[in-house]
Amino acid sequence: MEGLPLRLTASKLRQEVYKILDEVIRTGKPAEIERNGNLLKIVAVSKRYSKLSKLKPRKLTKENSDNFEHLDWTQDWKPR
């Protein structure tokens, strides 16, 4: 479904309605449907979609994360 055009005809919508709806939900991008010279949009309004879901994982340190597993913080930590 990755190659789905954002603008499609009502006939194409009818053929693949569930795939198109799922794609709109997954990406957050609206689908535009052309019908008799009119342009309609299907947009996701659910709060389940988040712009944060588009973030790419990034490496924040050059250290191997296994090195952090056995760190002893007790000498630096002082309860209030």
Mean pLDDT by 10 residues, the chain (80 residues): 71 93 87 93 75 76 74 79
pLDDT at residue 3, rounded to an integer: 53
| CA-based nearest residue to 13, from 34, 29, 37, 44 | 34
Domain annotation for the chain: domains and CATH numbers: 1-46 (3.40.1620)
DSSP states along 39-63: EEEE----TT--GGGGPPP----SS
Contact indicator for 10, 4 with CB cutoff of 8 Å: no
Q: How many CB atoms lie within 10 A of CB 58?
A: 5
The first and second tokens of residue 63, run together, are 């250290």
- Given CA atoms 62, 64, 67, 73 in this order, what sign does their dihedral have? positive
pTM: 0.51
pLDDT at residue 70, rounded to an integer: 75
pLDDT at residue 41, rounded to an integer: 94
